[in-house]
Amino acid sequence: MTHPQQPDIRDLGIIGDQKTCALVDKKGTIAWYCPERFDSPALCSLLLDEEKGGYWALETGATFAGRKYLEESCVLETEYTLDSEQFTLTDWMPYGTDESKQGICRLTSPAPQALTHRLRLRADYGLKGIILNRVNENSVRISGQDSTYTLASSHPIVIAESFMTCSIPAGQTGWVYLATSEDSTDGVSEETIRQSLTETLAQWKEIFGMFSYEGIYREQMFNSCRAICLMTHKPSGGIVAAATTSLPEGFGNGRNYDYRYVWLRDAAMIVSAHLRAIGMTGAAVDFLGFLCSARTSNEDIRIMPFYDLDRNVAETLKELPLKGYKNESPVVKGNGANEQLQLDANANVLLAAKQIYSQLDEKPNWETVRIIADFLAENWQKKDHGIWEEHVEEHFTSSKVVAAKGLEFIAESAETEEQATKWRKAAREIRRFVAEHCLTDRGAYAVYAGSQNVDVTAALFPVWLYGEPDSPEMIATMQEIENVLKEGELYHRRLEQFDSAKEGVFLAGSLWVAQYYIMCNDLEKARSIIDAALKYANDLGYMAEEGHVPTGEMMGNFPQTFVHASLMGVLVDLNVEVKK
């Protein structure tokens, strides 16, 4: 039997319930789904292996006509044309008052021909089979890898080996519901399915009711807000870096990683951008709560680079015997960078905390923030692994710079003069170190002390208020970035263990460069970079980590919250300048 093809990253849409999500392509195939939470083993993993991976396809013979989210929600409606007539597929994850109703709902409007749902679900990323047991004509119990699910449908379900199919006759409405528990489909009907849709729309309306941005690029700002909301794990307060693992950052270089964890650097920068774009929300305070709980439960004296959704140190790296997206291996779960010292991850938490405290009359989770500040003040002299988490230790300039600014900012919230004095003294020492050791022979900010190379991260230094954008150091740095790291209108990052010209342009870093030019009041240059980056957003506004300039392909894990946060930040700054 022929399986659906792996979709291009650009074709992926997202549905979710702030616990997990599913990725569905323009043909109506769910190619990625981790039940119950983002980092659980995938039940649909076609995205990583066409032969082994599970999927949920809608076989129609129809032509894709367009798709959109209903009412600024996360309910996705895809429109198709068949025999010159149109019908719709509506996909959502139940999100309402009954939290036991978790899974995926798919509703089709009447079509001129029969529509067939075909499911081939596979446990553990496609590596293990499942057991199918019929409950009744319209319901099947699914067992696999210590989990049990139920498939219910408006029409009879046919079981053939490991496949389940359900045909919706021409001219009839049809629904299929995959539930993540054994009994959550009891009494399900078209009425309850439509009630779930109504409740889910209402829930998202309440969440997005906080969105009040009315500046330029409003649609793009909202799309990024939606992406970040979809990647937020509400039970823990964590924000995952992306929904996927092992989508390649380049062709044939093996640089594939698992991003379904809460990276502290990324999450802190996301919260900072969120605060600037739409103001204080509960998610910002939840972020600090996540950190406090993670640090306490793990007895950490510093914040680790990332945690899983149980707030524990994430599992170690393990390679899975799958072919990979477009045969780009390896496919991995877990991550091997969690024991690294990443000063900038801790420092970015301070930047986010300062923004939160400036909008509140209290300082939630202050003890954790104080411990992070003390750790930085006492350990900034150490080499670390830097923002790109490579397996080398250096005195990375960006780590020192953001540590200095984090300490300076949080000193304004200090509870004692002794605290403030300690943190400001450390910040002055860091600034002295950077001035004496972290400049190239040409006067630019070096990647690390002693290096003659520059990195796109330096574009953020004036954004962090570390010096002026027109300082001699920044002018020299940006000239070097333009000469060495630019491809087309966008920019690569600098890596020490890999030639970054062999991976895609780095979209977050490109947006940082645009943010720099806004500070220089070169709005035309900034907008050209923003528009070039937005070419790597799909029709629903989602962006992966990188872009391949020669082909226009999206590369890396998807959707990348770090990129969306960077877009939100640069749009806020641009909007301020345009309004002047």
Between 101-115, 154-168, 328-342, the lowest mean confidence (pLDDT) is in 328-342
Q: What pLDDT, on a 0 to 100 scale, did the predictor assign at position 580?
A: 72
| Cα separation values, 98 from 22, 101, 200, 203, Å | 20, 6, 11, 12
Which has the higher per-residue pLDDT, 229 or 146?
A: 229
pLDDT band at 289 (very low <50, low <70, confident <90, very high): confident
Q: Are 519 and 573 in contact (CB under 8 A)?
A: yes
Q: Are 239 and 270 in contact (CB under 8 A)?
A: yes
Q: Mean pLDDT throughout 145-157?
A: 91
Candidates 303, 265, 212; CA nearest to 566 is 265
pLDDT band at 213 (very low <50, low <70, confident <90, very high): confident
Q: Mean pLDDT throughout 184-196?
A: 85
Q: Mean pLDDT throughout 276-300?
A: 75
Phi and psi, residue 458, nearest 5°: -60, -20
Q: What pLDDT, on a 0 to 100 scale, did the predictor assign at position 183?
A: 63
Q: What is the DSSP string of 132-166?
A: EEEEETTEEEEEETTEEEEEEESS-EEEETTEEEE
Q: List every span in the chain annotated with CATH 2.70.98.10.
A: 9-205
Report how far residue 162's alpha carbon sits from residue 132's, in angstroms, rounded to the nearest whole number.
7
- Could you read off the pLDDT of 305-314 as tens digits, one per residue? 888 999 888 8
* Residues with Cβ within 8 Å of residue 114, at least 6 apart in sequence: 167, 168, 169, 170
- Cis peptide bond prior to 472, omega within 30° of 0: no
Q: Which two tokens stand for residue 518?
A: 């806004």
**Residue 280 scores a pLDDT above 60:** no
Assign domain 9-205 one CATH number from 2.70.98.10, 2.60.120.10, 3.40.50.1220, 3.40.50.1820: 2.70.98.10
- DSSP letter at 46 equals G
**Helix-then-strand count for the chain, H and E:** 12, 26
Q: What pLDDT, on a 0 to 100 scale, did the predictor assign at position 47?
A: 98
Output the CA torsion 120→122→128→133 (10° steps). Answer: -70
Which has the higher per-residue pLDDT, 294 or 538?
A: 538
Candidates 377, 360, 381, 304; CA nearest to 337 is 304
> Does an H or E element contain 239, and which?
strand 238-239
Q: What pLDDT, on a 0 to 100 scale, did the predictor assign at position 337?
A: 78
pLDDT band at 185 (very low <50, low <70, confident <90, very high): low
Q: Mean pLDDT throughout 366-390?
A: 94
**Residue 536 scores a pLDDT above 90:** yes
Which has the higher per-residue pLDDT, 480 or 305?
A: 480
Give the SS3 label for residue 188: coil
Report how far residue 171's alpha carbon sits from residue 372's, in angstroms, rounded to the nearest whole number.
62
pTM of the full structure: 0.95
Phi and psi, residue 450, nearest 5°: 95, -10
Q: What pLDDT, on a 0 to 100 scale, did the predictor assign at position 25?
A: 98
Does the domain formed by 218-579 have CATH 1.50.10.10? yes
Candidates 531, 490, 521, 527; CA nearest to 508 is 490
Q: Mean pLDDT throughout 455-474?
A: 96
Q: List every span in the chain annotated with CATH 1.50.10.10.
A: 218-579
pLDDT band at 13 (very low <50, low <70, confident <90, very high): very high
pLDDT band at 282 (very low <50, low <70, confident <90, very high): low
Q: Which two tokens stand for residue 231?
A: 């990647």
Report how far residue 26's alpha carbon sits from residue 86's, in angstroms, rounded to the nearest whole number.
15
Q: What pLDDT, on a 0 to 100 scale, did the predictor assign at position 305?
A: 82
**Residue 140 scores a pLDDT above 90:** yes
**Percentage of the chain exceeding pLDDT 70:** 97
**Residue 175 scores a pLDDT above 80:** yes
Q: Mean pLDDT throughout 56-63?
A: 94
